[in-house]
């Protein structure tokens, strides 16, 4: 526990020495939302390599930079790139940046990801606001000694995703005439994609989309007392009885289409804060 707290504090001090603003909003940019940084004014950035203990992604398209600036009139901190469990990182390492954000004063955490659609009413390129999740990673980032200074041993998970922020996302989407899906996200370890039998099972247990990120950060965010909004870019939709291979080119194309919508939704949400 002492080591974990020391690493969080060293990361925090390294950032706070170089960035003087006090952001209220923290954003973790997954696939599809990288362009959001173009909307940030007066921005400063740091490489993850320059922040002690910050995990650096090995996945293509993750820039590994931390941005500070004004977004939709609010001070914001933006992580452009994240690491995943399948890259070989522990969940404690993956979620360290969330606790650092908390130390920096973040109150609201917005997370995006790319996810495979399980709901047959979804289409590739849709955006889904996450209303709840199912953790099938087989892991939990809170295992081990509890960091009492951040939160309780047994955090309540009844209302993980903030209902007011979900309503704000729905209002922002409606204003921009964007069709916004709502559903349950299931997290798996990856990196292999789902078999037809697994796809059928995930749909049977109530999931609308499946992905390989987000849930560890969300659990730690809840533990820290953050208000959370999460959005999924639906990169492909597969039905178990007529599965089609999902090419990386197709996934990135659909994620980019969803990402353009996500940028407008996130801006609209932040304007309402």
Q: Of 208 and 248, which is predicted with more confidence?
A: 208
Cis peptide before 243 (omega within 30 of 0): no
Mean pLDDT across the stretch 182-207? 95
Mean pLDDT across the stretch 157-186? 97
pLDDT beyond 70 at 62: no
Percentage of residues in the chain having pLDDT higher than 90: 74
pLDDT beyond 90 at 34: no
pLDDT beyond 70 at 60: no
Structural domain boundaries in the chain: 2-272
pLDDT beyond 70 at 61: no
pLDDT per residue as tens digits for the range 72-115: 999 999 999 888 899 899 999 999 999 999 999 999 999 999 99
Q: Of 175 and 32, which is predicted with more confidence?
A: 175
pLDDT per residue as tens digits for the range 119-132: 999 999 999 999 99
Check residue 181 and report its DSSP letter: E
Mean pLDDT across the stretch 204-214? 96
Its pTM stands at: 0.95
Check residue 35 and report its DSSP letter: G
pLDDT value for 81: 84
Pairwise CA distance, residues 220 & 96, whole Å: 9
Banded pLDDT at 63 (limits 50, 70, 90) = confident
Pairwise CA distance, residues 264 & 262, whole Å: 5
Mean pLDDT across the stretch 218-224? 98
Query: Across the chain, which distance is largest between two alpha carbons, in Å?
Result: 55
Pairwise CA distance, residues 150 & 130, whole Å: 24
Q: Which fold has domain 2-272?
A: Rossmann fold (3.40.50)
């Amino acid at each position: 526990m002492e080591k974990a707290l020391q690493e969080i504090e060293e990361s925090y001090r390294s950032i706070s020495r170089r960035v003087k603003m006090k952001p209220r909003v923290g954003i973790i940019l997954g696939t599809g939302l990288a362009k959001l940084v173009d909307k940030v004014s007066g921005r400063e950035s740091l490489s993850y390599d320059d922040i002690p203990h910050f995990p650096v992604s090995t996945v293509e398209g993750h820039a590994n930079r931390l941005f500070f600036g004004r977004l939709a009139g609010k001070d914001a901190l933006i992580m452009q790139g994240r690491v995943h469990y399948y890259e070989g990182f522990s969940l404690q390492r993956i979620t360290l940046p969330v606790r650092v954000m908390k130390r920096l004063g973040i109150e609201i955490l917005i997370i995006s990801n790319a996810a495979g659609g399980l709901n047959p009413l979804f289409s590739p390129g849709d955006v889904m606001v996450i209303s709840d999740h199912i953790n099938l990673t087989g892991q939990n980032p809170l295992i081990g000694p509890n960091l009492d200074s951040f939160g309780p041993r047994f955090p309540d998970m009844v209302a993980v995703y903030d209902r007011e922020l979900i309503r704000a996302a729905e209002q922002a989407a409606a204003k921009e005439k964007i069709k916004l899906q709502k559903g349950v996200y299931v997290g798996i370890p990856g990196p292999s994609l789902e078999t037809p039998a697994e796809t059928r099972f995930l749909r049977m247990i109530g999931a609308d989309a499946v992905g390989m990120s987000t849930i560890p950060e969300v659990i730690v965010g809840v533990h820290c007392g953050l208000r959370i909004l999460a959005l999924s870019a639906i990169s492909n939709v597969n039905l178990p009885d007529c599965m089609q291979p999902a090419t990386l080119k197709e996934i990135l194309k659909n994620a980019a289409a969803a990402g353009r919508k996500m940028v407008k939704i996130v801006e609209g949400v932040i304007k309402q804060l």
